[in-house]
Amino acid sequence: MDQPAVTDYRLAPAFAARLVGLGLVLLAVVAFVLTAASLALSWPADLVVVVVVVGLLAVLGTGTWLRSRAYVVRLTDSGYHVRFVRGVGVAEGRWDEVTEVSAAHPRDVPCLVLDRHDATTTSIPVEMLAADRQQFADDVRARLERAGRRRG
């Protein structure tokens, strides 16, 4: 069975929940500071309510986007693109730049590592993906193999 030309691997629900939780904590801090400022400066309380409502809508909208539209890894027939990952290394590349795919555990984080011709790497933490680890690795290897057949 052939993979589609473009496959997006989305953010795992646990990581999306962490980001939404962080947004809610930041909103609570802003609400606290704004409430204290409005009391001290005699600003209307409606200002606090409006900021909190707009902030909640922004956090909920961001959470929805993270779960339904945002991708961590995009695989195409020509290459890959990784985002939202700190320490990924080379975030974007073509399959003809990749020499090997391997599993590794840097800092005890299970990753799929793409070794490249220029001695750099791309490390993709598989726990961040809302997909089966083996299925993702198989997809990457199949695309790399197909790209090699096209070259050779």
Through-space distance between the first and last CA atoms of the chain, rounded to whole angstroms = 22
The answer to whether the CB of 122 falls within 8 A of the CB of 113 is yes
**Which of 34, 37, 14, 36 lies closest to 26, judged by CA?**
34
- Among 2.30.29.30, 3.20.20.140, 3.40.50.850, 2.30.30.60, name the CATH number for the domain at 72-151: 2.30.29.30
pLDDT digits (tens, 9 = 90+) for 78-103: 999 999 998 899 999 999 999 999 99
CA distance 65 to 58: 10
Predicted structure pTM score:
0.81
DSSP-based three-state secondary structure for 93: strand
Distance between CA atoms of 143 and 101, rounded to whole angstroms? 11
Query: pLDDT digit string (tens) for 29-69?
Result: 999 999 999 999 999 999 999 999 999 999 999 999 998 88
